[in-house]
Amino acid sequence: MNYATEYARSLADPVGFWQEQAALVDWYRAPRQILSQDTNGNDAWYADGQLNSAYLALDYHIQQGRGAQLALIYDSPVTRTIRRYTYTELRDQVALFAGALVNQGVGKGDRVIIYMPMIPEAVIAMLACARIGAVHSVVFGGFAAPELASRIDDATPKLIVAASCGIEFATVIPYKPLLDKALSLARHQVDGCIILQRDEAPATMASRDIDWLDAVKAAQPHDCVSVNANDPLYILYTSGTTGKPKGVVRDNGGHAVALRYSMRAVYGVEAGDVFWAASDVGWVVGHSYIVYAPLFAGCTTILFEGKPVRTPDAGTFWRVIEEHRVKVFFTAPTGFRAIRKEDPDSLLLRQYDISSLQALFVAGERTDPPTYEWLRQTLQVPVIDHWWQTETGWPVASNLRGFEDRPTRAGSASFPVPGFAVQILDEDHTPLAASKEGDVVIRLPLPPGCMTTVWGDHQRFRDAYLVQHPGCYHTGDGGYMDADGYLYIMGRTDDVINVAGHRLSTGEMEEIVAAHPAVAECAVVGIEDRDKGQLPVGLLLLKDGVDIPFEQLEAELVAMVRKAIGAFANFKRAVVVRRLPKTRSGKILRQIIRKIADDKPFTAPATIDDPLILDEIREVFLQQQIGLVAEDKV
């Protein structure tokens, strides 16, 4: 089957197409209703199907005779550890921890927050939740206490599973104080916390805390429970336009079918292959392509606790590929920009045999053409930029390895994936001609695997995604399709920015910055950055009579954002302006500010740490008559 036929069929007959894909999954009760509407009036896939996602990830493969095959390799240069788990070993640990959760009173539909770094216990906890029908919500370990608290209040978990610390390069980051602080900030109180003690920074335990080892010691293995296809598997919070993160809800049935399909059609891998996604379990890439999809497909997945550089050097990715014979590798372009900076001539790469590698996939942010070319020439394998989001859960556009070879093009995510009816619309909902840039939308119904609602707030789901272009899902990305059908994603059209592959809300940063007593108003804008793609810069309007040295003000703002969101927000710079563009009613015109920043790419290559770039930002905003005040007059 070629791509064009498969794609056309997926759109012409979605029910038939996804019925066939569903038949490849081992359901407890196979669905007869393929596509229907849920109580919210939303499209729902496989409504009467019954299954268990942890069974499909583990037990199913053991029944198929793969029990002795490696399911997961934990490779942690930061702790100098490599640990391997067969399918049987991983299933046994998951079943035992599922028993531990049940002992703590967790049952079907209860939420469990997981706040852990890249360690096997994070995967075990996720799959243990799935095994008993509990809904996990993994919170990225880089989030500060207030972010964790807002997720606790929104998801109202029965239990939290956390580790005592994470490790960033050589720095040990204790998690327990952050967890305790979050619990003191949250209105919702949990029944207990299971804490995995790590040697690098054991935590002081409180009365509500249970040691992971004690919890497991007291447990009996628990079997998989049958859940409905539309029951939630997980909630994953993502940044939107406002400060309040959106709880993206993923169901069990559509997710299992779509991810399984993607492994074959998009990534071209099958059972027994080694698949590595270097991301974090706290992000959607981690959920879909470190944990669920490789295991649904019977692959060996790699859980890497390290960074592309300095753990111990810029050759670490190549070492992992050689050591574990990785066939397909997926990561964010920002990591390669870091590697290229430290090892521009790929001297370290030459020390390793990466001949097992057949393809590299990149996503999470736009791949700039120089990085793409460097990768292509350096690795000599197909380099595939593919595009998707937390909401879709799996790739919307890609060059598909499961079909005939087609050339890739720098800057393009290639073609829509079967199931996704991608269109480019203008603001009046009219489809645009080839190469004209507009809103990238997906005509409904979305295929299986995509978000079904915002946790506890279905109206927000409708408002955020379904009203802008009737009959379509609004992705929030802008882009165009060329005459040959290649899709180019050019960036967000809303107040979301992408910093080192991390999605952040400028609106949220504005709320934090505006809370400083010296700041009257502010706008945070994403400025292009050579290394991290984009970096946030605060445009500040100060209150009259404020008397504070600029350096002190900036340092205080930086500290506030680090404390409220986390260091990974990379809020490091601010400039003072005389006024901000506003509507007559006094609303800040963020769109105009964004457009100024987008239309005038600042001297590349540059980073925001370069004093010249700040001068340039000032100059640009001055030319646009937003007005700036010299900092020495603050």
**Residues near ligand AMP (CB under 6 A):** 238, 283-284, 363-366, 385-387, 389-390, 413, 476-477, 489, 492, 498, 503
Which of 87, 486, 568, 571 binds ligand COA (CB under 6 A)? It is: 568
**What is the footprint of ligand COA within residues 508-547 (CB under 6 A)?**
532
Show the binding pattern over residues 341-380: x = contacts ligand COA (CB under 6 A), - = does not. ----------------------xx----------------
Angle at CA of residue 308, ends 307 and 312, nearest 5°:
75
393 Rama class: left (phi>0) / alpha (psi -120 to 50) / beta: left
Of 489, 482, 223, nearest in space to 333 by CA: 489
Q: How many residues bind ligand COA (CB under 6 A)?
A: 26
Q: Select the binding partner of residue 366 from ligand AMP, ligand COA, none (C-beta < 5 to 8 A, by kind).
A: ligand AMP
| Residue 221 CB, nearest approach to ligand AMP (Å) | 34
Alpha-carbon dihedral angle through residues 569, 575, 576, 581, given to the nearest 10 degrees? -80
| DSSP-based helix, strand, coil % in the chain, nearest 5 | 35, 25, 40
Q: Is the Cβ–Cβ distance between 161 and 113 less than 8 Å?
A: yes
Residue closer to ligand COA (CB basis): 499 or 577: 499
Residue closer to ligand COA (CB basis): 295 or 608: 608
Residue closer to ligand COA (CB basis): 367 or 412: 367
| Residue 285 CB, nearest approach to ligand AMP (Å) | 7
Residue closer to ligand AMP (CB basis): 385 or 554: 385
Residue closer to ligand AMP (CB basis): 192 or 419: 419
Residue closer to ligand COA (CB basis): 251 or 280: 280
By the rule CB under 6 A, 560 interacts with ligand COA: no
By the rule CB under 6 A, 279 interacts with ligand COA: yes
By the rule CB under 6 A, 283 interacts with ligand COA: yes
By the rule CB under 6 A, 173 interacts with ligand COA: yes
Which residue is listed with tokens 């590698």?
A: 357
DSSP output for 573-613: EEEEBS---B-TTS-B-HHHHHHHHHHS--SSS--TTSHHH
With b for 16 or more beta-carbon neighbours within 10 A and e for fewer, the 222-248 pattern comes to bebbebbbbbbbbbbbbbbbebbbbbb
By the rule CB under 6 A, 393 interacts with ligand COA: no
Which residues in 471-582 belong to E strands, given as ranges? Answer: 472-481, 487-492, 496-499, 502-505, 519-529, 533-542, 573-576
CA distance 181 to 161: 15
Give strand pairing partners of 71. Answer: none
Q: If you compute the radius of gyration of the chain from its CA atoms, what whole number of angstroms results? A: 24
| Residue 491 CB, nearest approach to ligand AMP (Å) | 6
| Residue 503 CB, nearest approach to ligand COA (Å) | 9
By the rule CB under 6 A, 253 interacts with ligand COA: no
Alpha-carbon dihedral angle through residues 375, 377, 379, 384, given to the nearest 10 degrees? 50
By the rule CB under 6 A, 307 interacts with ligand COA: yes
Which residue is listed with tokens 């010691």?
A: 217
| Residue 364 CB, nearest approach to ligand COA (Å) | 3
By the rule CB under 6 A, 179 interacts with ligand COA: no
**What is the footprint of ligand COA within residues 487-506 (CB under 6 A)?**
500-502
Q: Is the Cβ–Cβ distance between 101 and 159 less than 8 Å?
A: yes
Of 102, 70, 97, nearest in space to 86 by CA: 70
Which residues lie near ligand COA (CB under 6 A)?
141-142, 166, 168, 173, 279-280, 283, 285, 307-309, 331-332, 334-335, 338, 363-364, 500-502, 532, 567-568, 570
